Amino acid sequence: MEQHILANAELVRKVAAEQLDTAVQYNEVGVRWLDKYIDGQRERASPDVKEKLPNTLGSFLGECIRQTYGGKWVQDPVHGWQVKINEGLSVFPFSKVEKQLANQDGDSVLGLFTAIPGMIEFASKHAEVTGANSKAVDRPWWKFW
């Protein structure tokens, strides 16, 4: 499945280059482009296309996260595919793309991407305080208590 994710991420780059005349890389600039692209698709895409976009666009977002901040693709039995950055931090790029496609306000792949350094720092400090073997480390990143 990871090969499928990587192929989808490359497909986004290929379509951006060939059809939109935009070269995108797996970095913050690429996520900035993706954020605007998703906003445009929210307005223009048919419901059928919106249903398919999270698979490809989420793959691209996840690769941007993985290649910028490290981590690996891991399948969570409950929440699906995630990028696990470290033991205290995982993000779910497919869900984030889906949310931004559905919601105009408050959901942004760019917002998630730029918040990750702070989340890494928080998870690191939290692990120091609670200890590496604490059950608190198993909580999702969005639960701070």
How confident is the model at residue 136, as a pLDDT?
47
Check if CATH label 1.20.120.1090 holds for domain 2-131.
Answer: yes
Judge contact between 110 and 35, C-beta under 8 A.
yes
Angle 95-100-102 (CA atoms, 0-180°, nearest 5)?
95
Hey, where are the domains in the chain? 2-131
- pLDDT tens by residue, 74-113: 999 988 999 999 988 999 999 999 999 998 777 899 999 9
- Provide the H-helix boundaries in the chain: 2-19, 28-44, 47-69, 93-102, 109-130
Q: Cβ contacts of residue 49 below 8 Å, gap of 6+?
A: 41
Task: List per-block mean pLDDT (blocks of 10 residues) for the chain, which spans 145 residues.
Answer: 94 97 97 96 92 96 97 93 93 95 86 95 73 53 51
Judge contact between 56 and 11, C-beta under 8 A.
yes
